[in-house]
Amino acid sequence: MRRAFALALAVIALSGCAPRAQSSTVFAMDTVMELTAYGPRQAVDGAVSLIHEAEDRLSVTAEDSDIARVNGSGGGEVDGDTASLLKRALELCKLTDGALDITVYPLVRAWGFTTGAYRVPGEEEIGSLLEKVDYSAVTLEGNTVTLPEGALLDLGAVAKGWVSDRIAAGFREAGVRSGLINLGGNVMALGKKPDGSDWSVGIRDPFSEGLLGAVSVRDSAVVTSGGYQRYFEENGVRYCHIIDPRTGRPADSGLASVTVVGAEGVLCDGLSTAVYVMGLEAASQLWRENSGFELVLVTDGGEVLVTEGLEDVFKPMDVYKDGEIRVIRRD
């Protein structure tokens, strides 16, 4: 009798410390998103609303988003949330010396990545559109944005990472201590798994449908940018959706994919795009001069490199185990 009572107590205690998983799948921001929280249902429902609100405000194509309004009239007042993302995005443009440039949209559009009407613009067209690209000419005072003549904003390179930060904050506020936020390759692992082990987040192999490997993390974003994610081919040449703001052409830095791991989703998202543009050498230097993130880089030749903070955390898949994984070190 006493044993049965002790057992019942143990069962109650166990179920008390492992709340049930609540999940939702959402199609938004051009991708399939999967949310899981070990905690109250309202936490996940709140996250779904947050995603739709963010999309309505930030979409560059939706007619009356904050961004479309600003682009249509050269500036104006935006929502406080949009302003705070814009502020962080401009800091990241500066940090990456313009490899991330949220004013590169005229070129993204000219290459057809907005509509899917892909084309290769001529030299002259690229040259004249490049004159409009300069994040440093964008001003933000309070919630008021001013754009130089002809400039257009696009927060597509940072929006999902930022949303993942917001969702993680909402989860924490709702008492969720464990959760996984997957915004289409833009992952945020909240806390640890309910069993106390780290989350294992897979990284896509840029050359196949399979995985390159996985990283074991907790309280961390894992964000990948790669040429394989969106591209078109013309006359045997592949053109990807990440534009090098220095040339106005799809980035061709020798990297096939870039994964950034760190606590802040928006930083990881912005850097994944920027590092894809910068290439191996500039990326290694950026990593050495800054903290708060680690990198997994795959070169066009198939070489895999990780920064030293991931040395014990990155687990390659079998196909990559034979090949050497190079470690980028601080000195």
What is the closest distance, in whole angstroms, from the C-beta atom of residue 95 to Mg ion in the complex?
13
Among 66, 165, 269, 294, binds Mg ion (CB under 5 A): 269
Residues 122, 130: contact at Cβ < 8 Å? no
For ligand AMP, the closer of residues 220 and 272 by Cβ is: 272
Residue of 321, 262, 273 lying closest to 295 (CA atoms): 262
Binding region for Mg ion (CB under 5 A) out of 206-214, 238-246, 270-278, 293-301:
270-278
Rg (CA), the chain: 21
Q: Which of residues 47-76 bind Mg ion (CB under 5 A)?
A: none
Tokens of 43: 């936490």
State the DSSP code for 223.
E
Among 47, 157, 203, 217, binds Mg ion (CB under 5 A): 157
For ligand AMP, the closer of residues 233 and 318 by Cβ is: 233
For ligand AMP, the closer of residues 156 and 316 by Cβ is: 156
For ligand AMP, the closer of residues 178 and 225 by Cβ is: 225
Q: Does 273 bind Mg ion (CB under 5 A)?
A: yes
Q: Binding mask 81-120 vs ligand AMP (x if CB under 6 A, - otherwise)?
A: -------------------xxx-x---x----x-------
Q: Which of residues 268-287 bind ligand AMP (CB under 6 A)?
A: 269, 272-273, 277
How far is CA 310 from each of CA 113, 163, 262, 296, rounded to the nearest angstrom? 33, 24, 11, 8
Q: Is 266 helix (H, G, I), strand (E, B) or coil?
A: helix
Residue of 158, 141, 191 lying closest to 38 (CA atoms): 191
What is the closest distance, in whole angstroms, from the C-beta atom of residue 19 to Mg ion in the complex?
32
What is the closest distance, in whole angstroms, from the C-beta atom of residue 160 to Mg ion in the complex?
7
| One-letter identity of residue 327 | V
For ligand AMP, the closer of residues 26 and 277 by Cβ is: 277
Residues 269, 290: contact at Cβ < 8 Å? no
Residues 223, 213: contact at Cβ < 8 Å? no
Residues 297, 280: contact at Cβ < 8 Å? yes
Q: What is the DSSP string of 110-152?
A: HTTTTTS------HHHHHHHHTT--GGG-EEETTEEE--TT--
What is the closest distance, in whole angstroms, from the C-beta atom of residue 123 to ligand AMP in the complex?
19
Q: Does 187 bind ligand AMP (CB under 6 A)?
A: no
Q: Does 132 bind ligand AMP (CB under 6 A)?
A: no
Q: Does 225 bind ligand AMP (CB under 6 A)?
A: yes
What is the closest distance, in whole angstroms, from the C-beta atom of residue 242 to ligand AMP in the complex?
4
Q: Which spans of this chain sit near ligand AMP (rule: CB under 6 A)?
A: 100-102, 104, 108, 113, 154, 156-157, 225, 241-243, 245, 269, 272-273, 277
Q: Return residues touching Mg ion (CB under 5 A).
A: 157, 269, 272-273
